[in-house]
Chains A and B, each alone.
Chain A
């Protein structure tokens, strides 16, 4: 404290250190949140289901996705990144996960929604295993914070299957 500059420097470094600790505490406070999200996905239509020239199956489907993810938002949430993935098993791979659609939810008000959409990303298998195959549709979310730790979780919806024949 021997001069103006000395005091100013001490104050600034102390205040920034305290700010870092405050952000850590804010991130820890996210653990107090107990979310209860819900979601439902209906496959409205299999638009087409073909075998590509290279030999891989490809399918295009239209889904109706509805979800209520409002309880995931806290005071320290910047946005929610969500995506829908199809999961199934093949002889070659014990688990295949194909991302079909994703979105960013910027605020709590937008977290309760439904959307009628075809798959945003192409659904191509590694091989031609999809005929008659059962698959799960999983809604994943990443809660992206303003400061600190990111939480990720998912809801698994089962009971979907492909047609027996190409169309």
Chain B
């Protein structure tokens, strides 16, 4: 998942859970059944899990551009300087 995908997944998760909470409350109250509310909400949580938790392709539409290995070799890593890196006051 890329950065945009992470943000999208979190937003979808919050919106879906809130919507299902309201829908299940209203459904349970109108039908007079507490069990209806719990079942609708449980279904909603499962659906939200399936949509937002796995790493679906549509969350990866702005993929990160990692550096190509060929390019990386042109710029070798700097050597870690051990001896000169003492306390700077000594001169």
Given the complex, which residues of B lie within 8 Å of A150, measured CB to CB? none
**CB neighbors of A among B1-51 (8 A):** 1, 6-7, 9-10, 13-14, 17-18, 21, 24-25, 28-29, 31-34, 37, 41, 45, 48-49
CB of A10 within 8 A of CB of B10, answer yes
How many whole Å from A91's CB to the nearest CB in chain B? 49
| Chain A 1-34 per-residue mask, 1 if CB under 8 angstroms from chain B, else 0 | 1101001101100110011011001100100000
Chain B CB count within 10 A is highest, among A4, A7, A14, A21, for: A7
CB of B13 within 8 A of CB of A14, answer yes
Given the complex, which residues of B lie within 8 Å of A14, measured CB to CB? 13-14, 17
A contact face: mostly helix, strand, loop, or mixed = helix
CB of A11 within 8 A of CB of B53, answer yes
Given the complex, which residues of A lie within 8 Å of B29, measured CB to CB? 26, 29, 75
Please tell me if B76 contacts chain A, counting CB pairs below 8 Å. no
Measured CB to CB, the nearest residue on chain B to A73 is B32
Q: How large is the interface on A (under 10, 10 to 19, 20 to 34, 35 or more residues)?
A: 20 to 34
Give the complex CA separation of A158 and B21 in angstroms: 48
Give the complex CA separation of A26 and B29 in angstroms: 8
Which among B10, B25, B45, B52 is the interface contact of A25 at CB below 8 angstroms? B25
Given the complex, which residues of B lie within 8 Å of A18, measured CB to CB? 17-18, 21
Measured CB to CB, the nearest residue on chain A to B14 is A14
CB of B53 within 8 A of CB of A15, answer no
Q: Considering the complex of A and B, which 8 residue pairs feature the smallest CB-CB distances, nearest first?
A: A1-B6, A75-B32, A7-B53, A15-B45, A18-B21, A146-B34, A8-B53, A1-B10
